[in-house]
Chains A and B, each alone.
Chain A
Amino acid sequence: MKYINEYRDNVLVRKLSNKLRKYNDLDISLMEVCGGHTMAIHRFGIPSLLPKGIKLLSGPGCPVCVSSISFIDKAIAYSAIKNVIITTYGDLIRVPGSQSSLEKEKSKGADIRIVYSTLEALNIAKINQNKKVIFLGIGFETTAPASAVVIQKAYHENIQNFFLLSTHKIMPPVMEALLNEDVKIDGFICPGHVSTITGSKIYDFIPDKYKIACVVTGFEPTDLMQSIYMLAKQIHDKTPKVEIQYSRAVVKEGNVKAQKIMNEVFETRNDIWRGIGEIPDSGLKLREKYKEFDAELVFNIQFESKGENPACICGDILRGLKTPKDCNLFGKTCSPVNPVGACMVSSEGSCAAYYKYQNYDGFN
């Protein structure tokens, strides 16, 4: 595939892998914040190409993993309302709430539909005017503009049966929260897609205030290998700064138009991150002007949310403080087929990845 194969050149990857040997003495932990990076790292077997002293930690950038349990419970409660259609991106439907999942409710008869874009959700509302269509807005700065656009469209077209249940979140506050918690992070592999929208400027506070290295990274193997090299160099030379490796998509200022739409539609609020807890100003809710589209204001219903399994230590795992081996549920009541906690939900969450690798560590 053109424009993909060039970034999967194994000769170039091997060169970068050899170049990294220069830093064989480093003992560092790099956090890939974004779930897409975690995915690519496992898919291409990146860890097997790194010096032993360079460890990769999976961060809180998998939107599915960090959605609060009460968000899922609320979506399930909405799905039980008569004449409501729930529209959602696909990977949310299997996430366990405190008692059920959207997938289970769908098989019981709830009208829950997987969509590929927010506009598709809006179309479902236009076609089903006698029903109320709720879109589950999930994701970071990458997907929030798409939700914002559709809300503006619904507003201008005066569509009255379309609503947003937002659990959109933004990246910088959670990265700062991790740094304040003494998690051992020597460098951030900063998210590529988020940064196309926000620009790299949102990470400037990290080297300034915390002296931690940052590289905005693309999603192909050569991108990841080059970024890891750039981070290792910054750490070795003690010159922490924000660099953009993913320069074919990201600029310092980002996509100003998308930022404008997002700010016009959303404002920040305190939000709960599954496994981590409440982080100030880390979530996005609709502004006053668009409150008629806010599912939480329109559908005032009671629902029961039991909270997370107290034995689950996903929070500590997400923060790099514990490993899945320390968890009493791991591999017993909690497995990829029947996940209890956040890190087992996404196929590339740390527990799920660990679950696959536990019997075999012969890669290095």
Chain B
Amino acid sequence: MMDLINLNHGSGGKASQDLIKKIFIRSFGDPNGILSDSAILNIDSKKIAFTTDSFVIDPIFFPGGDIGKLAVCGTVNDISVSGAIPKFLSASFILEEGLLINDLKKIVVSMAKQAKLANIKIVTGDTKVVNKGKCDKIFINTTGVGIFEKEYNYISTGDKIEVGDKIIINGALGDHSIAVLGTRNELEFKIGVESDCACLNELIQVLLKADLKIRFMRDVTRGGLATVLNELSDIISLGVELDEKNIPVHESVNGLCEILGFDPLYLANEGKVLMVVHPNDAVKVVEIMRTHPLGKESKIIGEIVSDHPKMVVGKTEIGGKRIINMLQGEQLPRIC
């Protein structure tokens, strides 16, 4: 019985075949299908969305998710915010010699579960094993293909954004960052925060089908809301004004941010989408979002303004104003 990954699992021989069949095919594929060099896809679309992302995270299991869930959701979300419907995914694994096979199984099962929930197929992949110490337990790359039922070029470029458009977020910020930090065992207390890691394709499709004036979408991941909005204000050469008291942040996350001197606007998320919506449709978008499990805490948090072009300004909770800059390097806990 194999219980640890060893170099044989990457040799291309029997051990590799067993690993692929017993773990990957069992979870992702058709056990009776023939293993060939390429997946052949039926795509009924002139235009496709195509994206790739690699996932390295310590720890590989954290409250609310694991590296596998993250690898599926991350790529699904990148496709979804372009307006496309994610259909197919590849999954490549770099495994460190000594990884528990049981952990690999858990990760693969978790990926299969997310894929099913998101209605996508994991159709191709690869496995390599590296010597102990040459990678940290497991690295995963996923590449995804999505199709467009309708063209949404402007939704990534922000071409249709106008002054007065509202900025909407589908829920509380920072849960992912704090959940991962809590598990790294650097803090000597439990925080009870779960990662928001989730596939957003269903929520986004519901909104797109409602035919509302959604001008722009971006998933809010590393660098946080502040970084996404700074990128946005830069590409559209307009200003962004945030109403900070309306930005949803869970109490436990806020508390930890106070202790460590973090700003929730810069914390990473894995299940958040930012939308810019015509003012006439903003309330409707929030209403629809709130009917979906991933949008219960949706809020209008700001708007596009002509003042201070290329700058993000926050109206603080006490009525002051501050500039919200792009993240400069990783946030570090402060001494004072």
Residues of A within 8 A of B (CB): 1, 4, 8-10, 13-14, 34-36, 39, 42-49, 61-64, 89-94, 114-117, 120, 138-140, 142-143, 193, 221-222, 336-337, 347, 356-357, 359-360, 362-363
Q: Is the CB of A89 within 8 A of B329?
A: no
The stretch among B25-33, B94-102, B139-147, B320-328 that forms the contact with chain A is B320-328
| With A36-B334, A347-B328 already in contact, 13 other A-B pairs whose C-beta atoms are closer than 8 Å | A1-B251, A8-B318, A10-B317, A44-B322, A45-B320, A48-B322, A64-B335, A89-B333, A90-B333, A115-B186, A138-B335, A356-B323, A362-B308
Q: Is the CB of B263 within 8 A of A114?
A: no
> CA separation between A229 and B187, bound complex, in Å?
38
Interface of B is mostly: loop
Given A1-B251, A1-B254, residue A114 in contact with residue B332 (CB < 8 A): yes
B316 within 8 A of A: yes
10 CB contacts below 8 A, A to B, read A1-B258, A10-B319, A13-B318, A39-B334, A43-B322, A45-B320, A45-B322, A63-B335, A64-B335, A356-B323
B255 within 8 A of A: yes
Given A43-B263, A48-B320, A49-B319, residue A362 in contact with residue B307 (CB < 8 A): yes
Task: Give chain B residues whose Cβ lies under 8 Å from the Cβ of A9.
Answer: 318
B311 within 8 A of A: yes
Q: Is the CB of A8 within 8 A of B317?
A: yes
Given A89-B333, A91-B335, residue A336 in contact with residue B321 (CB < 8 A): no
> CA separation between A43 and B328, bound complex, in Å?
16
Q: Is the CB of B322 within 8 A of A39?
A: no
> CA separation between A65 and B111, bound complex, in Å?
46
Q: Is the CB of B323 within 8 A of A357?
A: yes
Q: Which of B284-336 contact A (CB under 8 A)?
A: 307-308, 311, 313-323, 325, 328-329, 332-336
Given A36-B336, A62-B336, A143-B335, residue A44 in contact with residue B320 (CB < 8 A): yes
Task: Give chain B residues whose Cβ lies under 8 Å from the Cβ of A142.
Answer: 336
Task: Give chain A residues whose Cβ lies under 8 Å from the Cβ of B336.
Answer: 34-36, 61-63, 139-140, 142-143, 193
Task: Give chain A residues whose Cβ lies under 8 Å from the Cβ of B308.
Answer: 360, 362
Task: Give chain B residues whose Cβ lies under 8 Å from the Cβ of A221.
Answer: 316, 318, 320
> CA separation between A84 and B320, bound complex, in Å?
47
Q: What is the minimal beta-carbon distance from A45 to any residue of chain B, in angstroms? A: 3
Q: Is the CB of A116 within 8 A of B318?
A: no
B 252-272 to A, binary, CB cutoff 8 A, 1 in contact else 0: 001100101101000000000
Q: Is the CB of B320 within 8 A of A1?
A: no
Chain A residue at minimum C-beta to C-beta distance from B324: A356
Q: Is the CB of B329 within 8 A of A46?
A: no
> CA separation between A94 and B186, bound complex, in Å?
19
Q: What is the minimal beta-carbon distance from A116 to any residue of chain B, in angstroms? A: 6
> CA separation between A363 and B260, bound complex, in Å?
28
Q: What is the minimal beta-carbon distance from A190 to any residue of chain B, in angstroms? A: 14
> CA separation between A115 and B188, bound complex, in Å?
11
> CA separation between A34 and B334, bound complex, in Å?
13
Chain A residue at minimum C-beta to C-beta distance from B317: A8
Task: Give chain B residues whose Cβ lies under 8 Å from the Cβ of A35.
Answer: 334-336
Chain A residue at minimum C-beta to C-beta distance from B333: A90
> CA separation between A116 and B335, bound complex, in Å?
9
Task: Give chain B residues whose Cβ lies under 8 Å from the Cβ of A138.
Answer: 335
Q: Which of B160-216 contact A (CB under 8 A)?
A: 186-188
Task: Give chain B residues whose Cβ lies under 8 Å from the Cβ of A10.
Answer: 245, 317-319
Q: Which of A4, A14, A143 contacts B258 (CB 8 A)?
A: A4
